[in-house]
Amino acid sequence: MGQDSRSSGKASRRDVLRWGGAVAAGSALAGVALPTVHAGADNTLRLALIGCGGRGGGAAVNAFNAPGGPVKLYAMADIFKNRLDGCYNHFSKQHTERVDAPAERRFAGFDAYKKAIDCLRPGDIALLTGYTAWRVSQLDYAVAKGVHVFMEKPFAVDPPAVRRMIKAGEAAEKKNLKIACGVMCRHSAARQELIQKIRDGALGQIILSRAYRMHGGGRLGKRPADQNELLWQVARRTDFLWASGSLFDELTIHQIDEVCWIKDAWPVAAHGIGGRAAGSTDCGQNLDSYAIEYTFADGTKSDVVARYINGCHNDFATYVHGTKCGAQFSGNVHAPTVHTYKDQRMAPDNIAWRAGREPHGPHQAQWNVLMEAIRKDKPMNEARRAAFSQLASIMGRAAVHSGKIITWDEALASKFQFCADIDALTESSPAPVKADDQGRYPAPVPGAWTEI
């Protein structure tokens, strides 16, 4: 995938990595026996990279660096050939010994993911890191072919796709296939330490959590008249609800997953407010700000706030308040800034405890767990949990866009779809949404908008 048209103003972890880093050269797990669903007698796991942007490249490097045995990038796919070629050229130069993806195993187009997955053997790994609208279609296909899956977030754009993801996860469970999902902070050792303290009662009863993803952003301009509209929208997916769910889903699902993890529960309802800055010329479908209050079954709350406006106060962190004291759960750009405070005053001079140093960042830690699960046949299937985190994000987004309270039950049961024929789209298909005579696409208007 290409870079988002809106960014935090700081390099993301994937951008900083730029698919680089030293590849681990050996492992305590090398030579272990493969499980029943395996990748071949030579113990080499083959990767099919579906989506050849920064996230896909970063995930492939995480796979290279994971201990346990040899890994090869064996097939590649992207809707756009230029992205496919750029990614291949980088890997063939920087990770030559890890790449075995000749031209006949590199595919471009809407059905390219099927061709790349078809190159794998049962027990190999599909990396689903491309365009969100097709994420569940790709998951279905990978599970049907008997391959393990790493899938990036967001996972689904609407409730029917969430239910489809849950069903695919259940099918994978029956086949003993492993699924890792890109809400990787669940694998953060520092956060796991604090979660254990929370479960042990160190903070008392959790009564509130607060999560923020506030930074600068860009705006979508008008589509050039000579551009294929469908491909233009796909390339700018975070500006279109049908293609990505929204920029909010793309970015803030991490914070939503964290507040649900803290509570060890899913919200029963969400309501919120949001909007665009006065005078906005944005042609896309996103709002500039989102403020959501999630309510859990015990009546406690979680507040999630997102804003994408330049020149404002920025924050990228998650906090939690208990009846005994408060804590910081997560820091800037997913940093393991994890500590408790002596009371509710959250200041550097009031810290009571700090988490230990993490041996690996959460992106790499997740891949280490996945590779060990595959090679040692351990349980790992994150599909259902990730689907529920996605549903929580969708219900919060829908609450802001519609101006209504959205419940968990109605979100889970909703039949609303942004693009019902997503699996049938081709390059010549009409785009799912059209611009008005000003070149602007329909944006949510609370009180008049429906997406649940």
pTM recorded for the entire structure:
0.90
If one counts every other C-beta atom within 10 angstroms of the C-beta of residue 44, the result is 14
**10, pLDDT greater than 50:** no
CA-based nearest residue to 129, from 146, 116, 144, 145: 116
**Structure tokens given for 136:** 């569940």
Q: Is the pLDDT of residue 386 over 60?
A: yes
- 265-297 pLDDT, tens per residue? 999 999 999 999 999 999 999 999 999 999 999
CA–CA gap between residue 306 and residue 311 (Å, rounded): 14
**Which helix (H) or strand (E) element contains residue 16?**
helix 13-17
- The residue type of 97 is E
Which CATH architecture does the domain made up of 13-185+362-382 adopt? 3-Layer(aba) Sandwich (3.40)
* Token digits of residue 395: 């219900």
Please report, for the chain, the start and end positions of each structural domain, with discontinuous segments joined by +: 13-185+362-382, 188-361+391-412
Higher pLDDT, 42 or 388: 388
Give the Cα separation of 49 and 77 in Å (integer): 6
Q: Which amino acid belongs to residue 125?
A: I
**Alpha helical stretches, state H, 18-134:** 54-65, 81-94, 112-118
pLDDT tens-digit map of 166-188 = 999 999 999 999 999 999 999 99
Q: DSSP assignment, residue 381?
A: B
Please state which CATH class domain 188-361+391-412 belongs to: alpha beta
Number of C-beta neighbours around residue 415 at 10 A:
10
